[in-house]
Amino acid sequence: MPLNHQILLDNRPVCEAVASNFTLVCHPTPALLSGQVLVQHHYLSLDPYMRGRMNETKSYSAPQPLGEVMLGGTVGVVVESRHPAFAAGDTVVGMGGWQEYSVVDATEPGALRQVDTTRIPMSDYLGAVGMPGVTAWYGLVKIIAPKAGDTLVVSAAAGAVGSAFGALAKARGCRVVGIAGGPDKCAYVVNDLGFDACIDYKQHADAASLSQALKAACPDGVDGYFENVGGMVLDAVMTRMNAFGRIAMCGMIAGYDGAPMVMSHPALILLSRLKVQGFIVSEHLEVWPEALRELGMLVVTGKLRPRESIVHGLAAAPEAFLGLLKGKNFGKQLVKLC
């Protein structure tokens, strides 16, 4: 059985996460039992939600245990199988974690999903045609529920979720405005992803300035907002929301270091009769097949052209993850493992 390099959570962050929170170890993979499958991971997904799980605080899921492999989505190839539904050579998606191989109990429903890479690249199953894409789909379709002609805004627009949100919203006849960090990302959002406009939040020192930029980009106000960031960005968008606007709360990356985030204008929820709803996409598995079909078709037809930031080798994962939290990635952040 092959040797398996793994990254464990060694200790919990104090405020900002640092590389020394992680440790790299190596162990042989165990022999398979009946019903188990050995998967060699080709790509590991790095996602902002992982930062929240590093804390030992109340959340929607249990904290990442110390001394165990960091949780994370993976796509790879079956090396050996003792389950009749899987064979060596199958390409599969799962939650293999920050390691080169995983031994998966394939008898557990949903533990592994076979995917077809003949028309969709393997890595896209961790981004546009994976959890980030379904996250965008759920927030748009089930919470914002737009009509053709609505003006929608999404923060972190150049990322995996934001890019999928834009393609899905444009397919429904909406005007879509992104918020991203830096001129290169904003140019990509407009020129490659087809957004109607994109605002560089780094050009604005406070929420008031960003609100004015949103007013110019959204002269008819904002009907729906997909939130990935929080903080100043949320404050700015709140001031531009139309009556009966809808806000899908997906992430609060501005608060992942543990500092409290104060909402400057909570009264606007009442005054504008806003619907504000948080959601966790893993709690809505019933929509995944429908969402993945639409997302896959957008990729195949070229209407969704996701960009990726890729680092090579498991040892590069911690620094890439820390960079993701600071917005250094461009598109979906992946680790190529083989």
Residue 227 domain flag: yes
- Whole-angstrom distance, CA of residue 273 vs CA of residue 225: 14
pLDDT in tens, the chain (338 residues): 799 999 999 999 998 999 999 999 999 999 999 999 999 999 999 998 999 899 987 677 789 999 999 999 999 999 999 999 999 999 999 999 999 999 999 999 989 999 999 999 999 999 999 999 999 999 999 999 999 999 999 999 999 999 999 999 999 999 999 999 999 999 999 999 999 999 999 999 999 999 999 999 999 999 999 999 999 999 999 999 999 999 999 988 877 666 677 889 999 999 999 999 999 999 999 999 999 999 999 999 999 988 999 999 999 999 999 999 988 899 999 999 99
Domains identified in the chain, total number: 2
Looking at the structure, tell me whether residues 259 and 325 fall in a common domain.
no
Give yes or no: residues 58 and 153 share one domain: no
The pTM (predicted TM-score) of the whole model is 0.92
Domain identity same for 119 and 157: no
Task: Give the C-alpha distances (Å, rounded to integers) separating 83 from 1, 58, 89, 92, 117.
Answer: 17, 37, 13, 14, 22
Q: Are residues 112 and 249 in the same domain?
A: no
Q: CA 129: distance to chain centroid?
A: 11
- If asked whether residues 62 and 121 sit together in one domain, one would say yes
Q: What is the CATH number of the domain that holds 154?
A: 3.40.50.720
The verdict on 194 and 271 lying in the same domain is yes
Q: How far apart are the first and last CA of the chain?
A: 17
What residues make up the domain containing 151?
A: 131-282
267 and 147 both lie in a single domain: yes
- Residue 11 within a domain: yes
Domain shared by 137 and 249, yes or no: yes
Q: Are residues 69 and 163 in the same domain?
A: no
Residue 289 lies in a domain: no
Burial of 279 (0-12, 13-18, 19+ CB in 10 A): middle
